[in-house]
Amino acid sequence: MTGIIPYPAHVDVLDNGLKAVVMPMPSNGLVAYWTIVRTGSRDEYEEGRTGFAHFFEHMMFRGTERYPTERYQRILTEIGADANAFTTDDLTAYHVSLAAEDLETVMELESDRFRNLAYSPADFETEAGAVYGEYRKSRTDPLFTLYEAVVETAFDVHPYGHTTMGYEADIAAMPGLYDYSREFFTRYYRPDNTILFVAGEVDPGRVFEQVERRYADWAPGYIPPPIPPEPEQRAERRIDVEYDGRTLPIVWLAYKIGAFDPGDARQVALDLLAELAFGETSEAYRRLVLDEQVVEFLAAGAGWNRDPGLLDVYARIKDPDKVDYVIEALDEAASRHRAVPPALDELAALKSRIRYGFLMAFETADRAAQRVARPLAICGGLGGLEALHTAYAGIAPDDVQAAAETFLRSERRTVGMLRGRR
Amino acid sequence: MTAGASGAAARRPGSHPAGGPGADVLLPVPGEPTVSFSISFAAGSQDDPPGKEGLAYLTGLMLAEAATERHSYEEILAALYPLASAYGVRVDKERTTLTGRTHLDNVDRYVPLLTDAYLRPAFDRRDFERLKSDAINDIENTLRYASDEELAKAALDAFVFADTRYAHQPEGTVQGLRSITLDDVREFYRRRFVRQNVAIGIAGGFDDALAERMRRTRGELPSGDSAEPPPITPAPIERNEVLLIDKPGADASISFGFPIDVARGDRDFYALAVACSWLGEHRQQVGRLFQVIREIRGLNYGDYAYIEAFPGGGERRMPPVNVPRRARLFEVWIRTLPNEQAHFALRAALREIERLTAHGMQHEDFELTRTFLAKYSLHYAETTARRLGYAMDDRFYGLDAEGHLERFRRMMRELTLDDVNAAIERHLAGRRFKLAIVTGTAERLGSALAAGSPSPIDYATPKPQHVLDEDREIAAYPLPIDADAIRLLPVEQAFER
């Protein structure tokens, strides 16, 4: 075993391009079986098709000829598995947590639906209603409402400009897109665009045998989407959002950054910068949250994305009259980090935090999967995650300052302000 | 029917305060690289004095998110930071529980911070002002305006437990929180956080020395009273009653239920767990309610049933730990849907419950559900920290010899269909409901409910004939509600006092 991941991973790639990553680890008799499709709302480049990756995730539970929904559900029920899925910008993950002795049963079901999904137009239309319900539930959250507006403002052409839920008008039009849904499946749900991650009390050799047996006849043919590159942003953008309800004001600063790249020190340093500048031991946090108490909540993070994405900073402000004051204070934090490298002991504390946070995350097979799914999807393997942690160790204070100089600039950012109805 | 009749006469949940010699929970997992901690005090929102609703909650926050005598809160954050560890608190109706987890490498740095939190809180004024204002904001803004589903659930709980010590939510009320002073917090801590009231739990890769070190902290707490709390007796529900939370612009979020007199440990509890799982296991697609409302008709995102409190259901997939209660509801959660479909969805859900209580579970459903639960319950406690949480809750329920989860799995083998149907008959049949609905069309929905008028629905796309036939039955399903049993509450008054 080398590197940061506490358990060794075994990898096999089928001729059709399907990659299987198996991580044996103690897990109280449970196994995590994840099917990670490297497609998300990023791939929704066509007009009127936003939200489709997420909608399609729902359709994957609508059965095949061999295992219609009821039979699929019944089998999962009989084995007491916990099965669900989620969609993000860069990936869609289908996850099952199961007792180790039921692994073959789950592989039979999962391999079948990924190869042979079949659903009726009626099922398709019904599911569109459930997706609309999910949107309704989400939009009562002011943070979601603001986020939706910020990304739309920040991106001119790249699909990162809409959330994974999609635009409401597109969600409303979904029931009429049955044919497109079949095309979506044909384009993206292919072995050469999919990674299996299996963790827990399993034997890698036996898993690989099963993968070969059950997935080898899945035809490759992934068609990469022609995603338009986002032109460089040259001036600050602002968006004011009125929330239909009461809320404290929320400010969201979204800085354009590069794509996930463990080989680029400035990009790696961004993860550290976000924490050092705005995390809970930062000067800004101390001042705004603890001392002056003008901010209720402050958080920041640099996105790990396949294409250039965003470093987000957001704060919920207690006093509506202090909004500009808080933005100025956050600006001061940014300019301080552009001007001065962080202290060595601060950087060391953060590196320790990242390391222990990572080690403690491998608590169960399912949590291990949650931790690795995104880097696995973005990089196509676990190498990117290992490389990232190696790169963290080598980041010097000057790298953090250089990252701030490059990225924490007002011309690269969108400022979103949400206020509630008075 | 009482809990005693189903074989639990020797035990009253929560009636023995946690604490005293032998009350510690040790759960060693040799080789595990982390240690989990749980320190539980018999101090909960039921102990809030009238007019000070939220006192236990603020006191809990002042332990977990504030300074100690040795360190400012800022210093605590800085010290925990490189460990990637923290400690947090859950304040519920019966218990305040501090929990945390750290890597074995960091135990010596972590433990003094954790133990200072409950042994030596500083009650710093600036921390108090911050936490109090956050707590008020959480109600005034977040609960009322940003989470309709949680609002409906909290409102139902308050509706059912009105005039008992469970009546207000653990997070308190706006007026209650406003009236709380730092001296109130100090006094509450002095009275409730005593050695007779504490249970200490430790799990994972710890050694004897660490266990001993944690146990010794009990002796550092002052001695005090551990008065038994008064019983929680919700008023019987004689007719269906509705609370409409009037929130302009909102879609409909619905919770309804009634009290049930069973607890972990009772055979009937496990029998009801089978029935309830069949009706609507949380976040699972197999449940009957989910099938009828979402899967077949696509009205919303999910529909579930519960026999224990399940706060934060939108975020969590598995049941919470550290929420032990002496009284509980049978409860149904219908997730957000369009206002014009609320009446229909409500009828659909109530009709399913009536069918269950009238006909009982069928043999095949019973077999499938108990097979499901025997294994699915493995997911309830996947991590060591959650197993510790269940073990701490076992103390509360007096399940010392055989823990709840162990018993749960045994019951899934032993229960018969007759047991389940008898429990359904005893606890669910013929009951009236209290309903809490957050809605943007309160007046209109209230009138429709009172009139009992049919509630047909339209679909954007065609549905099979058998669905339309069933729709006609649902739309006319009798749901008797008297006009004077409907109350409108403007959202800005929810949890105000």
Q: Residue B174's pLDDT is what? A: 97
Q: Does residue A150 contact residue A237 with C-beta atoms inside 8 Å?
A: no
Q: Does residue B302 contact residue B212 with C-beta atoms inside 8 Å?
A: no
Choose the final residue of a domain: A165, A185, A215: A215
Q: Does residue B281 contact residue B416 with C-beta atoms inside 8 Å?
A: no
CA dist., res. A135 & res. A221, Å (int) = 32
Both tokens of A72, joined, read 């699929």
In 10 A of CB B163, how many CB atoms?
9
- Cα-based distances in Å from B493 to A239, B140, B255, B398, B485: 32, 9, 18, 39, 19
- Considering only the beta carbons, identify the residue of B133, B336, B383 that sits closest to A136: B336
Both tokens of A412, joined, read 């690269």
B residues 415-474 closer than 8 Å to A (CB): 459-464
Q: Are residues B77 and B34 in the same domain?
A: yes
Q: With left for phi above 0 and alpha for psi between -120 and 50, is residue A415 left, alpha or beta?
A: beta
* Contact: A357, B145; criterion CB under 8 Å: no
Q: Is residue B12 part of a domain?
A: no
The tally of CA atoms less than 13 A away on the side-chain side of residue B317 is: 16
Residue A419: exposure state from Cβ atoms within 10 A (0-12, 13-18, ≥19): buried
- Considering only the beta carbons, identify the residue of B103, B379, B384 that sits closest to A359: B103
Chain B hits for A360, Cβ within 8 Å = 33-34, 84-85, 101-103
Tell me which DSSP letter residue B53 carries: T
**Packing angle, helices A69-78 and B363-376, rounded to 10:** 60
Q: Are residues A115 and A163 in the same domain?
A: yes
Give A2's pLDDT tier (boundaries 50, 70, 90): low
* Contact: B83, A366; criterion CB under 8 Å: no
Q: Are residues B418 and B450 in the same domain?
A: yes
The residue behind tokens 């790169």 is A391
Q: Are residues B172 and B133 in the same domain?
A: yes
DSSP 3-state assignment of A35? Answer: strand
Q: pLDDT means per 10 residues in chain B (497 residues)?
A: 34 46 80 96 96 98 98 97 97 97 97 98 97 94 87 96 95 98 98 94 96 95 85 95 94 96 96 97 91 90 95 90 96 94 97 96 96 93 95 94 95 98 97 96 96 91 90 96 96 94
Chain A hits for B74, Cβ within 8 Å = 286, 290
Quick one: closest CA in A to B151, which residue? A140
- How many helices (DSSP H) and strands (DSSP E) are in chain A? 15, 11
Q: Residue B466's pLDDT is what? A: 94
Alpha helices in A31-120 (DSSP H): 52-59, 69-78, 103-116
Average of pLDDT values for A183-209?
A: 96
Residue (of A256, A294, A260) closest to A385 by Cα position: A260
Q: Are residues A330 and A370 in the same domain?
A: yes
Q: Is residue A222 part of a domain?
A: no
Q: Does B376 touch chain A (CB under 8 A)?
A: yes
Our CA angle for B97, B102, B108, nearest 5°, is 105
Q: Domain total for chain A?
A: 2
Q: Does residue B197 contact residue B224 with C-beta atoms inside 8 Å?
A: yes
Q: Are residues A60 and A108 in the same domain?
A: yes
Q: Is residue A328 part of a domain?
A: yes
Q: What amino acid occupies position A365? A: A
Q: Is residue A5 part of a domain?
A: no
CA dist., res. A349 & res. B84, Å (int) = 9
Residue (of A172, A171, A173, A147) closest to A160 by Cα position: A147
Q: Does residue A253 contact residue A330 with C-beta atoms inside 8 Å?
A: yes
Q: Are residues B63 and B207 in the same domain?
A: yes
- Cα-based distances in Å from B148 to A39, A223, B335, B336: 31, 41, 9, 8
Give A106-162 pLDDT, tens digit per residue.
999 999 999 999 988 888 888 887 788 778 777 778 899 999 999 999 999 999 999
Q: Is residue A161 part of a domain?
A: yes
CA dist., res. B225 & res. B197, Å (int) = 8
* Contact: B82, A348; criterion CB under 8 Å: yes
> Residue A187 sits in a domain of what CATH number?
3.30.830.10
Tell me which DSSP letter residue B138 carries: I
The length of chain A in residues reads: 422
Q: Are residues A177 and A307 in the same domain?
A: no
Q: Is residue B345 part of a domain?
A: yes
Residue (of A174, A187, A76) closest to B285 by Cα position: A76
Q: Is residue A224 part of a domain?
A: no
CA dist., res. B92 & res. B329, Å (int) = 16
* Contact: A356, B129; criterion CB under 8 Å: no
* Contact: A420, B82; criterion CB under 8 Å: no
- How many helices (DSSP H) and strands (DSSP E) are in chain B? 18, 11
Our CA angle for B240, B241, B244, nearest 5°, is 140
- Cα-based distances in Å from B184 to B129, B137, B164, B188, B222: 13, 20, 22, 6, 18
Residue (of B319, B388, B328, B324) closest to B14 by Cα position: B324
- pTM to 2 decimal places: 0.91
Q: Are residues B206 and B273 in the same domain?
A: no
User: Would you say the C-alpha torsion B159, B161, B162, B167 has a positive or negative sign?
Assistant: negative
Which residues are CB-neighbours of A182 under 8 A, at least 6 positions away? none
CA dist., res. A103 & res. A138, Å (int) = 34
Tell me which DSSP letter residue B68 carries: B
Q: Are residues B248 and B214 in the same domain?
A: no
Chain B hits for A76, Cβ within 8 Å = 286
Distance from the A15 Cα atom to the nearest Cα atom in chain B, whole angstroms: 35
Q: Are residues A208 and A246 in the same domain?
A: no
* Contact: B74, A99; criterion CB under 8 Å: no
Q: Are residues B256 and B198 in the same domain?
A: no
Q: Does B300 touch chain A (CB under 8 A)?
A: yes
CA dist., res. A295 & res. B297, Å (int) = 43
Q: Is residue A229 part of a domain?
A: no
Q: Residue B261's pLDDT is what? A: 95
Please give the residue range of the domain that contains residue A281.
237-420
Q: Is residue B231 part of a domain?
A: no
Quick one: closest CA in B to A200, which residue? B382
User: Residue B363's Cα: distance from chain center in Å?
Assistant: 30
Q: Are residues B25 and B162 in the same domain?
A: yes
Both tokens of A358, joined, read 């990572």
Q: Does B282 touch chain A (CB under 8 A)?
A: no
Which residues are CB-neighbours of A20 under 8 A, at least 6 positions away? A11, A12, A13, A14, A195, A196, A198, A207, A208, A211
Q: Is residue B234 part of a domain?
A: no
> Residue B23 sits in a domain of what CATH number?
3.30.830.10
Residue (of B470, B130, B101, B318) closest to A30 by Cα position: B318
Q: Are residues A141 and A69 in the same domain?
A: yes
User: Would you say the C-alpha torsion B63, B64, B70, B73 has a positive or negative sign?
Assistant: negative
Q: Does residue B333 contact residue B304 with C-beta atoms inside 8 Å?
A: yes
ipTM: 0.90
Q: Domain total for chain B?
A: 2
pLDDT at A169 over 60: yes
Both tokens of B409, joined, read 């799995």
Q: Are residues B180 and B295 in the same domain?
A: no
Alpha helices in B360-427 (DSSP H): 363-376, 384-397, 404-414, 417-427
Q: Is residue A404 part of a domain?
A: yes
Please give the residue range of the domain that contains residue B489.
241-493
Q: Is residue B230 part of a domain?
A: no
Give B194-223 pLDDT, tens digit per residue.
999 999 999 999 999 999 999 999 999 999
Residue B225: exposure state from Cβ atoms within 10 A (0-12, 13-18, ≥19): exposed
Instruction: Classify each residue of B57-72 as buried b or exposed e, where b means 16 or more C-beta atoms within 10 Å of its C-beta.
Output: bbbbbbbbbbbbeebb
Q: Is residue A287 part of a domain?
A: yes
Element of type H or E holding B115: helix B107-119
Q: What values do phi and psi take at A197, rounded to 5?
A: -125, 120
Q: Does residue A109 contact residue A76 with C-beta atoms inside 8 Å?
A: yes
CA dist., res. A366 & res. A363, Å (int) = 8
Distance from the B82 Cα atom to the nearest Cα atom in chain A, whole angstroms: 4
Q: Are residues B250 and B380 in the same domain?
A: yes
Q: Does B368 touch chain A (CB under 8 A)?
A: yes
Distance from the B461 Cα atom to the nearest Cα atom in chain A, whole angstroms: 7
Q: Is residue B201 part of a domain?
A: yes
Residue (of A45, A71, A43, A47) closest to A57 by Cα position: A43
Instruction: Classify each residue of A217-238 as buried b or exposed e, where b means 16 or more C-beta atoms within 10 Å of its C-beta.
Output: ebeeebeeeebeebeebeeebe
Our CA angle for A190, A194, A198, nearest 5°, is 140
CA dist., res. A364 & res. B378, Å (int) = 12
Q: Are residues A380 and A266 in the same domain?
A: yes
Q: Are residues B304 and B159 in the same domain?
A: no
Alpha helices in B120-207 (DSSP H): 125-137, 144-146, 148-160, 174-179, 182-192
- Considering only the beta carbons, identify the residue of B78, B106, B283 that sits closest to A281: B78
- Cα-based distances in Å from A249 to A154, A294, B100, B149, B305: 20, 11, 32, 22, 35
* Contact: B383, A140; criterion CB under 8 Å: no
Q: Are strands B486-490 and A413-420 parallel, antiparallel or unpaired?
A: unpaired
Our CA angle for A297, A300, A306, nearest 5°, is 145
Residue (of A387, A405, A410, A307) closest to A91 by Cα position: A307
